[in-house]
């Protein structure tokens, strides 16, 4: 990607590229591989360039009345919540809540709103938002027209509600329209959660209240990014789905299904792999499920080899296990980089040692003729 972008810039010196994303995305190892994008950055929630009091006040006045802005004067002065503009926009569309309480404890207030939906006699809105979680953020009108799959999911949600609800696809579309400008936005023919922070709160809420259903039916990206075992005893953010010890086996069964369905890279990019304890449990899971080895090995000589993403992330113990399965240690990505090359670039000494001890090709260069040794020395 860097090469393609550089060609564009060379052909037109006036071209500028400005991108925005959440900080955890920028910090991701996969993002940093695109060197051009990681060359310069501004963290807008850092002390140096975060929103000033005057800027927050100006944003508040764009969405709130003068009285409302005065009511939250102290919060505007001292808030460190990184989604202050989002809160202003959200409150402007949902004014039934106490404004001071909302701006002081936004996650708690939004979850209470969801609890009201859950306990309402008409739980249709509650069911519709569950559908958005399962389908990972958005639903298109095309999906509504392909009724068989979505009707099966609706049926499963229907059985989770108390009392069970019966909602047709036509009624579902009407509710999606009704939720537009509160929880949802519509762009062309796609209904989406209107902000990724709100989506994280929804995922956490439904993961708690519909744990089995969300684990069973959710998009593979939800399984990869939004769960954390309680047994890890690691710091959790307030929008994570907590997995009790007794449900860990069910979680690994879902990973087993994802591998069989072809979502192998997502399994090896799981956010929990950053924790050493999870790595141990994950390796044990792989050792027990020998029938999925053929699925993993099918990627051995492709750019989607798990060895490439694991080398990039620096998970030496999991790499050892995959090398025992016979995966190609010298597999190359689109840029010609081997697992050794990637681990040298990241300075992952433990992975480099594993590669060298397993007789990797230490002199295999990438497409720009840079060797692992050269990259390690840079």
Whether residue 69 is predicted with pLDDT greater than 70 in this model: the reply is: yes
Q: Are 33 and 312 in contact (CB under 8 A)?
A: yes
Torsion of CA 67, 68, 71, 73, to 10 degrees: -100
- DSSP secondary structure of 111-168: HHHHHHHHHSS--HHHHHHHHHHHTTTEEEHHHHHSHHHHHHHHHHHHHHSSS-----
pLDDT (average), residues 353-377: 95
Query: CA nearest 200: which of 176, 236, 250?
Result: 236
Spatial separation of the C-alpha atoms in residues 339 and 306, rounded to whole Å: 10
Q: How far is it, in rounded angstroms, from Cα 215 to Cα 118?
A: 19
Q: How high does pLDDT run on average in the chain?
A: 89
Q: What is the pLDDT of residue 15?
A: 78
Please identify which residue in the block is written with the tokens 């519709």: 128
Cβ density class 132-144: b for 16+ within 10 Å, e for less: bbbbbbbbeeebb
Least confident of 12-26, 51-65, 308-322: 12-26
Q: pLDDT: is 95 or 355 the higher one? A: 355
Tell me the average pLDDT across 268-287: 97
pLDDT at position 50 is: 75
Cβ(239)–Cβ(201) under 8 Å? yes
Instruction: Kindly tell me the sign of the dihedral angle through the C-alpha atoms of 261, 262, 267, 269.
Output: negative
The predicted model scores a pTM of: 0.82
Rg (CA), the chain: 24
Question: Using CB atoms within 10 A of its CB, is residue 276 exposed (0-12), middle (13-18) or buried (19+)?
Answer: exposed
* Amino acid 22: pLDDT: 63
Q: How many CB atoms lie within 10 A of CB 312?
A: 24
DSSP 279-324: HHHHHHHHHH-GGGHHHHHTTTTSTT-HHHHHHHHT-HHHHHHHHH
Using DSSP, state whether 208 is helix, strand or coil.
helix
Q: Going by C-beta distance under 8 Å and a sequence separation of 6 or more, which residues neighbour residue 242?
A: 207, 208, 228, 230, 236
Q: What is the pLDDT of residue 28?
A: 57
Neighbours of 84 (CB within 10 A): 21
Say if residue 359's pLDDT is above 60: yes
Which of 17-21, 122-126, 253-257, 352-356 shows the lowest mean pLDDT across its residues? Answer: 17-21
Per-residue DSSP letter, 22: -
Q: Say if residue 283's pLDDT is above 70.
A: yes
CB atoms within 10 A of CB 356: 13
Nearest to 198 by CA among 95, 91, 51, 43: 91
pLDDT top residue among 159 and 257: 257
Q: Which residue in this structure is represented by tokens 């990039």?
A: 312
Surface-to-core class of residue 360, CB atoms within 10 Å of its CB (0-12 exposed, 13-18 middle, 19+ buried): buried
pLDDT score of 170: 84
Where residue 85 falls among pLDDT bands split at 50, 70, 90?
Answer: confident
The string of pLDDT tens digits covering residues 323-342 is 999 999 999 999 999 999 99
Strand partners, 243: 229
Task: For 207-251, write each residue's pLDDT tens digit.
Answer: 999 999 999 999 999 999 999 999 999 988 778 999 999 999 999
pLDDT score of 106: 84
Dig out the tokens for 292 from the structure: 């999925």
């Amino acid at each position: 990607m860097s090469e393609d972008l550089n060609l564009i810039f060379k052909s037109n010196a006036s071209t500028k590229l400005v991108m925005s994303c959440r900080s955890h995305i920028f910090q991701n190892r996969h993002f940093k591989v695109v060197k051009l994008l990681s060359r310069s950055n501004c963290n807008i929630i850092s002390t140096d360039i975060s929103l000033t009091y005057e800027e927050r006040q100006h944003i508040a006045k764009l969405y709130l009345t003068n009285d409302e802005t005065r009511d939250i004067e102290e919060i505007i002065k001292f808030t460190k919540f990184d989604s202050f503009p989002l809160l202003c926009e959200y409150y402007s569309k949902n004014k039934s809540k106490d404004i001071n309480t909302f701006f002081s404890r936004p996650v708690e207030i939004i979850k209470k709103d969801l609890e009201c939906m859950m306990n309402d006699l008409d739980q249709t809105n509650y069911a519709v938002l569950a559908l958005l979680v399962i389908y990972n953020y958005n639903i298109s009108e095309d999906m509504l027209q392909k009724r068989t799959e979505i009707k099966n999911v609706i049926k499963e949600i229907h059985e989770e509600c108390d009392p069970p609800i019966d909602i047709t696809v036509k009624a579902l579309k009407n509710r999606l329209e009704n939720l537009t400008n509160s929880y949802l936005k519509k762009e062309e023919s796609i209904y989406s959660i209107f902000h990724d922070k709100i989506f994280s709160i929804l995922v956490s809420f439904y993961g708690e209240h519909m744990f089995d259903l969300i684990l069973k039916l959710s998009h593979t990206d939800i399984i990869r990014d939004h769960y954390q075992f309680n047994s890890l005893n690691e710091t959790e953010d307030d929008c994570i789905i907590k997995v009790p010890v007794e449900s860990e086996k069910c979680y690994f069964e879902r990973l087993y299904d994802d591998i069989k369905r072809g979502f192998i890279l997502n399994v090896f990019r799981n956010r929990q792999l950053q924790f050493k304890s999870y790595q141990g449990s994950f390796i044990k899971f792989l050792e027990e499920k020998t029938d999925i080895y053929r699925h993993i090995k099918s990627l051995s000589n492709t750019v989607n080899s798990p060895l490439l993403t694991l080398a990039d992330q620096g998970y030496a113990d999991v790499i050892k296990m995959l090398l025992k399965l016979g995966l190609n240690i010298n597999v190359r990505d689109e840029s010609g980089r081997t697992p050794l090359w990637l681990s040298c670039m990241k300075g992952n000494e433990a992975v480099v040692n594993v590669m060298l001890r397993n007789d990797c090709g230490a002199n295999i260069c990438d497409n720009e003729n840079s060797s692992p040794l050269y990259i390690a020395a840079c």
